[in-house]
Amino acid sequence: MLGSQVEVLTAASAMEAQETLRADTQIALVLCDQRMRGMSGLELLAWMRREGHKAKRILLTAYNESIFPKEELASAEPAALCTKPVDLGRLAALVASLLP
């Protein structure tokens, strides 16, 4: 289970997430939805990769992985893709496994 040292930050849009990620390069994990204001989750994760942000990346989506172009997935390089509805126990275990 996650320890008490975990701080959770939120962003209301992809642009706000970018601002937060620019300001804090120590963020260890990003969990984002595919559908967000401003850009898609895959676009945000690809931006993170291009910017050299080291955070692990999880994409939440209501869509099956097969609908995403392979190039977009490769560009975003998510550590995991979780389809909705999300099993919270499995998500918690995944997050715990990706945190340092």
* pLDDT tens digits along 27-81: 999 999 999 998 999 999 999 999 999 999 999 999 888 888 899 999 999 999 9
Q: Right CATH number for 23-93 from 3.30.70.1380, 3.40.50.2300, 3.30.1370.10, 3.50.50.60?
A: 3.40.50.2300
Helix (H, G, I), strand (E, B) or coil at 29: strand
- Nearest-angstrom CA–CA distance, 49 and 54: 8
Q: What is the pLDDT of residues 1-10, one digit of tens each?
A: 455 578 899 9
Q: What is the pTM assigned to this prediction?
A: 0.87
**Residues whose CB is less than 8 angstroms from the CB of residue 25 and which lie 6 or more positions away in sequence, other chains included:** 53, 54
